[in-house]
Structures are given as C-alpha cells and as structure tokens.
Amino acid sequence: MLAGLANAQSDTVVKEVVVRGTKRLSEAVVRTYMKTKPGLTYTKAQLDEDRLAIEQSLGIVSKVSITPVLLGDGGWQIVVDIEEFADIKEISIEGAGALKVEEILKLPIFQDRLQLGKPFNRQDVRPVGLAINDLYIKRGLGGAVEAVGMVPSSPGTVVISIRERKFGNIEVYGETNTRPRVFQNLILARPGDPFNSELLLQDWRRLQNTQWFESVEFPEIIPTQDESTADIRFKVKQQRTGIFNIGVTLDPQNQLAGTISINEQNLNGTGQAVGINFIQGTLGAGASASLDYTNPFIDSKNTTLRASVYDRVLFRFQNTLAGGGIGIGNGNQYFERRTGFNFGLSRPFRQGGFRDLYSLGFNVRAERINTTSNITDPNDPNLGNGLALIQQNGEVGVFGFTGILNNRDVDLDPSRGAFVRLDVETGYSIINADTTSFPDGPTGRNNFSRVSFDYRNYFSKDRRRLKKEDPNPIVWAFRLRGGTVLGDVPFFEQFFAGGNDSIRGYNEDRFWGTNLLFGSLEYRLPTDRYTDNALTTVLFIDYGAAWGGYPAVGNFTQRDVFRPSLGYGFGVRVRTPLGPIRLDFGYAGDGGNRLHFGIGPSF
C-alpha cells in the first residue's frame, strides 16, 4: 500500500533528510553526495542514484539503505542508514606461491592503502590490485589479483585473492639427437610450477650455451583454455657437434703445423664432450697432444666434471700474426713443454629459484715443465744476457677453488649481463737446481698462493635479437682482470699480459710479474642490424700491466711498480659454428703494432 501511495504522490516535496549510523563520516559529508534535498521533489529513481553515489564515492561505506517515509502533511522524510566497514585487523593473501606473502605486503602501496587499524576502503581495492599485478610482471611471473574484500564472517579481516598461472606441458621440437633426459637437465621449468618468464630465459640461455644447435628459438608460450596454465614449446635445430679434421694450420709461432683432431661436443646425445688433438710443429718444438673430457651431468644437480691429460708446447713472446716493434730477439723462440693432467668439478647452486647464475668448483693440476730456448744468434745484441736466462725446469702442482657469478644472456656472444670469476689457489713447485738459469729464482720445493679475479660486464639498449623485427644489439663490453701471487713462484706460474687476450698491440706475454691489473673496453657494432649477418666490427682500448717478479729478458724490460701500457685499435668478428673468429689490429703505446687472430670471444 505504501508503494502505491508513494507512486501516487511522487511529485510531492521532500521535507527532511535524516542520516543515521555514521561513525567516522559526518552526516554533512553523506548529504553532499545526495541530489535528494529538502524542498525538492521526491522520486524513487533519484534515491537509487543517491545510494549508488554514496557507495561509490565513500569507500568506507559497506552498505547504504534509503527509506522514504510519508509524513502526515503529504511530504516525505528520507532516512539514510549507513554501515561503515570495520577497522582492518588482518590482511590475508590467498593463492600466492611464486611470490612470498611478506614480499607482497612490503609493497609501498600498503603504507598508504589497506593499513592495519584503519577502516577498509573500497577505493583502495583497484590501486592495491594494480600494484600487486605490477610486481608479478616485474618478476616475470604469471599472476593477477582476482578479488580484494572484507570477510563477512570475520569483520576486520581483508582477503586478497590471487590466481597464479602455472606451467603446463613443456616440449622440445626440432631436429635433434639429444636425449630427453639431457633436456630435463637443461630445462628447469617443470609442469605445475608457477609460471616464470625469467626461468624460461635461463632455460633458453642454457640451451644456447651448449652450442649443440644451429638455432634455439625463444620459447613459445601457449595459453590453455582455462588460462590457469600455459604450455611451453622450445624449437631447436640440431647442428653437427662432431668434427674430424686432418690438415695444416698455423702454430703459435706463425709457422705451418700438421694437425689431427677429433672432437665431439654431444657424444651420443648425452651432452658429454670428448676431444683428441694432435699438432706437429715444423721448428723443432715437437708434437703436442691432448685428451679432453667433459660431462656436465654427472648427477641430478648438473655437477660438471672436466678432465684433461696432455703433453703440449706453450709458446710465449710471439708476434700473433704480423707487426713491428720490439721483440725478445730476432729469430729466437722460448717455449714450455707441459706434461700433466687437469681435473675439476663444479656445481651450480640455486639462488632465488634459479641455477647457473652462481657456481662453485675446485680444480687440481699437476705438470712437469721443461723450458727450451732456441738461440739462433747468440751474438744478437737484442738478447742482452741471452734467452737462457729464462730456462727453468721442474714440477708444479696447484689446487684451487673457483666461484662464478654469470647472468649473461648468452655466454659465447653476450649483449647484456655480467660475469665475475674469483680464483683462490695454492701450489707447490719443485725446480731442478741444475736446470735453472735464474740465480735468484726458487730451487727445490717451494710453496706459493695466488688470488685472481675476472670481471666482465656488457651493456646494450637493445635486447638480444629473438625475432626478425628485433635489431642486432650494439654492445659496450668492459673487462677488468687482476691478481697477485704470494710466495716463491716459478717463472712460468707468474701472470702474463700482452697480446691477443689482454693488451693488444704487443707481443704475446710481453709483460710478466707477480701482480696483474688491466682493463679492456670494446664497442661492438653489427654491420647489418636487421639480418642474421655474421660480421661485427669492433673498436677497443686495453690498458694495464703485469709487474714485480722476474727481471727483464732481452728487449722485454719489466717493471717493479704498476706502470700501465696502452693498446688500442679495431677489429672484426665473424660468427661461425666453432664460435666467433677474431681479427684485431692493435697499436701499442710504444709505437709498435700487431695483427691478432683468435677463435672465441675476446671476453
């Protein structure tokens, strides 16, 4: 009957608006959001709009009831009953797994919104949800806030419901002979685990770094029908991993040498690597031979075993390819024959759910070293006191620990990320007194310790090229390497600098000493940024020195204190299945120059 009477008199006047139930809100504030006011015509449609306006504009209001009361004089009294949300006593987060609850609650948004001790406010729901969603995106995780609200049965408890996406099926497609078990070791994402794009990036990087594949496409993410999972598809294209070679090459003296090598990087699809290498030189140094073995999966933790047995010649002080400037002596060579073995184990360990960013390992090396000086002209004034001054034979054993941090995007040709290596070693030497020509050098048994580091960082505003429309990145690459030796160390266990891998423009191993510090900066520019062009041009600067330790030999004067030398120049890199081939033309600060050749990245 009241409804019928209200409709019949809908054009009558509102006499009074009464607001009840407010605690923190004032009645005046509530009335400001109402268009129904005393003296205006009453309509039910306007009351419905007023109720929505109060609920939407005053977030701490949980419920609004508006009741029209017909007065005796035909006017209307409007009664507005307000229920406010309770104070927040607890915030509960449901559905979070990839992110810790404590991490979510530390977001700055919780300092301004949804604070304990203050009433729940409906206007805080959207900002809080967006902040949590952004955190998932920044961490590369799949997750979104579904609801934020007060629990009716437990006033004071706010529940934030999150739905996280998980990995579905994970598959590898393509031409490959690699065994499924090996892929399980390389791809750490597992069905049912929380979705994590950073983990997928690590898995993609791990596949790239094997160098078993001609191409590894970035994993395709395939949403499922219920959107709670995503299937992952890695597409690879196998390349030849075994190489058998018989031929002629240049040895470190830039002379022709015969070579026979058999190398397999993915033996029978197991990921094991075996290499047999034989080189016969032409200038009397004799043959070099080595047998190398690597197994990166000796257990479920991806522990890597590396072992080598060898009898090889190491040349020092050589011009890499060609150039002018000083040398140790015209027509003279110094080389070391090293016969021994090397054995090491390393294991990646988890940090924040990822592997391969950090690893620890140890290494054992034992060698017999025989040094040889071929003096073709003992009257050459460039020789000073003669190359025989650096003859030193004996045995050496080294045991050391290695720690590595590596978050480069791809190890072989990085564009972003850093690499840090720290080596701590202790060793002994037994030098035969009747074979050494260093009067002040160590003879008999002596101990030494060595600490060294290698820091590399790569910068690019462009990410690595994953799609055809992506440009090949322009990269700034920086390296800083250093170390020191304590104790009585043989000549051949010092630090060496100069040449292809350190200060370019100088002879190989031009500087030596018990201390080392040098830095390198490279600017790497792809010749074509939008194709799979394999050619990159490089500008470089090298600066540093090795000092202390053994005295000068011939024209190779040495330094007792740190006095750095400068090398600079330009070069090219050609990408091949064996790795980048490098050709660098370096100018030395003393006026000389060298053309350097190498396989593999400079750093």
Q: What is the pLDDT of residues 482-540, one digit of tens each?
A: 999 999 999 999 999 998 889 999 988 889 999 999 999 999 998 887 777 678 999 99
Task: Give the range with max mean pLDDT: 236-240, 461-465, 477-481.
Answer: 477-481
Sorting pLDDT into bands at 50, 70 and 90, what band is 148?
Answer: very high
pLDDT surpasses 90 at 343 = yes
pLDDT surpasses 90 at 579 = no
Q: Which of 1.20.1070.10, 2.40.30.10, 2.60.40.10, 3.10.20.310 would CATH assign to domain 166-238? A: 3.10.20.310
- Output the pTM of the full model: 0.77
The kind and range of the H/E element at 183 are helix 180-186
Asked if residue 5 lies in contact with residue 71, where contact means CB atoms within 8 angstroms, the answer is: no
Q: What is the pLDDT of residue 468?
A: 67
Q: What is the pLDDT of residue 332?
A: 57
Report percent pLDDT > 70 for the chain. Answer: 87
Token pair 């031409």 is found at: 175
Sorting pLDDT into bands at 50, 70 and 90, what band is 19?
Answer: very high
pLDDT surpasses 80 at 114 = yes
Q: What is the pLDDT of residue 557?
A: 79
Q: Give SS3 for 111.
A: helix
pLDDT surpasses 60 at 99 = yes
Q: What is the pLDDT of residue 177?
A: 87
Q: What is the pLDDT of residue 250?
A: 57
d(CA 96, CA 187): 24
Q: What is the pLDDT of residue 267?
A: 93
Task: Give the number of other Cβ atoms within 10 Å of residue 245's Cβ.
Answer: 11
- The correct answer on CATH 3.10.20.310 for the domain covering 90-164 is yes
Residue 329 or residue 416, greater confidence: 416
Q: What is the pLDDT of residue 559?
A: 86
* Helix/strand/coil (H/E/C) assignment for every residue in 148-172: EEECCCCCCEEEEEEEECEEEEEEE
- Phi first, then psi: give them for residue 8, nearest 5 degrees: -65, -30
Computed over every residue of the chain, the mean pLDDT equals 86
pLDDT surpasses 50 at 545 = yes
Class at the top of the CATH hierarchy for domain 2-84: alpha beta
CA distances from 458 to 197, 464, 475, 479 (A): 21, 12, 7, 9
Q: What is the pLDDT of residue 374?
A: 58
Residue 471 or residue 54, greater confidence: 54
Q: What is the pLDDT of residue 283?
A: 62
pLDDT surpasses 50 at 3 = no
Q: What is the pLDDT of residue 4?
A: 44
pLDDT surpasses 90 at 248 = no
- Of 75-89, 234-248, 307-321, least confident by mean pLDDT is 307-321
The pLDDT of 95-113, averaged and rounded, is: 89
| Boundaries of every domain in the chain | 2-84, 90-164, 166-238, 296-451+480-518+548-561
pLDDT surpasses 90 at 255 = no
pLDDT surpasses 90 at 471 = no
Q: What is the pLDDT of residue 554?
A: 66
The pLDDT of 473-477, averaged and rounded, is: 93
Residue 282 or residue 148, greater confidence: 148
Q: What is the pLDDT of residue 321?
A: 47
Q: Give SS3 for 403.
A: strand
pLDDT tens digit string along 173-188? 987 789 999 999 999 8
Residue 379 burial by Cβ neighbours in a 10 Å radius (0-12, 13-18, 19+): exposed
Q: What is the pLDDT of residue 224?
A: 84
Task: Give the range with max mean pLDDT: 190-199, 376-385, 465-474.
Answer: 190-199
Residue 525 or residue 7, greater confidence: 525
pLDDT tens digit string along 379-428? 554 444 444 557 788 999 999 999 999 989 888 888 899 999 999 999 99
pLDDT surpasses 90 at 452 = yes
Q: What is the pLDDT of residue 247?
A: 73
Sorting pLDDT into bands at 50, 70 and 90, what band is 168?
Answer: very high
Q: Collect all residues with Cβ–Cβ distance below 8 Å to 426 and sequence separation of at least 6.
A: 398, 399, 400, 447, 448, 449, 450
Asked if residue 450 lies in contact with residue 425, where contact means CB atoms within 8 angstroms, the answer is: yes
